[in-house]
Amino acid sequence: VALSRVTTWAANDVLTAAALNAEFDNILNNAASFFSPLTGSLSFGGFDATSVDEIHLSDASASASAIGRLRRNATNLTWHDGTGVYNLVYGDTASTTQMAADASATVYVTASRTRYYPGVAKVWVRFASDGTVGSHYNVTSITDSGVGSWTVTVATDFSAAVDTAYFVSARGNSGPVAPHGFVDNAGGIAAGNGTFLMVNAQGVLQDADTIQVLGFGAST
Amino acid sequence: MSTVRIVYTRPDGHGSVICPVIDDMDRARQAIPPDATNVHVCTVTDLPPTRRFRNAWRQAGAAPPHVDLPLARQRRLEEIREERAPRLLKADNDLKITEDRGDAALAARLRAHRQRLRDLPQTEQARLEALATPEDLDRYIPAWPEDPA
């Protein structure tokens, strides 16, 4: 407590109105100094601390000691959840450039930017020979160009055609020979679409029960 | 899944069908190539009911595709030739073995059989011309000559 009394009274002193008012004014005008700094724990009695502008945690040089407690330990904010003490994650979110570069170890990933990471599929789809789409991600449409030939149009383009790596395979078998899938370079791979073929062992175009396409690369 | 389909004709005359993932026609139209013709929006029920003879789908103007019967007949004839290939191979082998054995009568029947197989596409073509629907073409079974071996 930083607040001091105005008058230290002795026996036979006369309490005047002015002196009494001065003592109360001292308390009322310096309310914060009345309890700050504390000399013991402060209980909120189960109520909230609201409208706090900023909390300054001193370095306790130790981690949170009991369930439900936060504590600063050097540069870490520690949290005790009842099973143990953990450092809370803090820092900036990764930009799309940082995600694509896979270079920073100090920023953290958010859901909507996960798709920019180079190791994440930018497009995937499972469809039938007639172009009917099953599960998919980042696909606008399937174009059925004839037996064993389809084009997948993506919703968000790759940055360039050369930045793509597609994989295509068949699930099931609608013909006498299991079809093999490959990327049709003649049909063209563009930033916004890819053309894929299925052939049988003789190299003849063939439908499949289900075609699966998976695309990696740099996204826009 | 959308039931809307966008059909168009490619420069090579073949028909393509765009299947949108959702009913967002603006996005679906992005898949139409600039050299497409006969662009037409329809539903999946407007298309031929099966993909049998899919490569024979053609459009007559901006309308849903239909199975072009001359092209479908041509395809069915190609299939008959493909089915004939192993039979011809067997006929050649049977004839060689029979000639080696010196069985002249059976060899003569095998030569005739082989010739009927060779002539089959010509004889079948006339029969195929008489079929008027894709379903008839699909169901059609060639009159394979009886193997004397």
Instruction: Compute the Cα dihedral for A81, A86, A91, A93 and give only its sign.
Output: negative
Q: List pLDDT tens digits, range B69-106.
A: 999 999 999 999 999 999 999 999 999 999 999 999 99
Q: List pLDDT tens digits, range A74-95.
A: 999 999 999 999 999 778 899 9
C-alpha to C-alpha distances, A69 to A57, A66, A82, A89, A133, nearest whole angstrom: 12, 6, 9, 16, 50
Q: How confident is the model at residue A44 (pLDDT cuts 50, 70, 90)?
A: very high
Q: What is the pLDDT of residue A174?
A: 54
Task: Give the angle subtended at the CA of A62 by the CAs of A58 and A68, to the nearest 5°.
Answer: 85
Cα–Cα distance between B8 and B75 in angstroms, integer? 22
| B103 vs A174, residue with greater confidence | B103
pLDDT (mean) for A49-57: 95
Average pLDDT over chain B reads: 94
Q: What is the pLDDT of residue B22?
A: 82
Inter-chain touch A146–B14, beta carbons under 8 Å: yes
Percent of chain A with pLDDT over 90: 60
pLDDT (mean) for A141-166: 91
Residues 6+ apart with CB under 8 A from A179: A148, A170, A173, A198, A199, A200, A206, A207, A208
Q: Choose from B7, B12, B17 for mutation: most chain A CBs within 10 A.
A: B17
As given in the structure block, the two tokens for residue A142 are 């399937």
Q: List pLDDT tens digits, range B56-71.
A: 999 999 999 999 999 9
- The β-bridge partners of A133 are A127
**Residue A118, pLDDT above cutoff 80:** yes
**Residue A199, pLDDT above cutoff 70:** yes
Look up the ipTM and state it.
Answer: 0.84
Give A147's contacts in chain B (Cβ within 8 Å). Answer: 51, 54-55
| A163 vs B21, residue with greater confidence | B21
Nearest Cα of chain B lies from the Cα of A85 at a distance, in angstroms, of 47
CA-atom Rg of chain A in angstroms: 35
Q: How confident is the model at residue A1 (pLDDT cuts 50, 70, 90)?
A: low
Q: How confident is the model at residue A47 (pLDDT cuts 50, 70, 90)?
A: very high
Among B75, B88, B62, B53, smallest CA distance to B125 is for: B75
Asked whether B58 and B66 are in contact (CB, 8 A), the reply is yes
- The β-bridge partners of B18 are A143, B6
Cα–Cα distance between A189 and A167 in angstroms, integer? 12
Give A123's contacts in chain B (Cβ within 8 Å). Answer: none
Residues 6+ apart with CB under 8 A from A120: A114, A216
Q: How confident is the model at residue A172 (pLDDT cuts 50, 70, 90)?
A: low
Average pLDDT over chain A reads: 90
CA atoms within 13 A on the CB side of A16: 4
Nearest Cα of chain A lies from the Cα of B18 at a distance, in angstroms, of 4
Q: What is the pLDDT of residue A203?
A: 85
Asked whether A67 and A81 are in contact (CB, 8 A), the reply is yes
Residues 6+ apart with CB under 8 A from B26: none
Residues 25-54 of B with CB under 8 A from A: 27-28, 30-31, 47, 51, 54
Q: What is the pLDDT of residue A177?
A: 57
pLDDT (mean) for A124-143: 94
Query: Which of B1, B31, B54 is facing A147, going by the closest CB pair?
Result: B54
**Residue A9, pLDDT above cutoff 80:** yes
- pTM for this entry: 0.75
Give A146's contacts in chain B (Cβ within 8 Å). Answer: 14-16, 54-55, 57
**Residue A173, pLDDT above cutoff 70:** no
Q: At what angle do helices B69-101 and B104-129 cross, to 10 degrees?
A: 180
Cα–Cα distance between B66 and B134 in angstroms, integer? 10
C-alpha to C-alpha distances, A144 to A155, A195, A210, B19, nearest whole angstrom: 17, 10, 13, 8
Read off the amino acid at residue A126: R
pLDDT (mean) for A164-178: 73
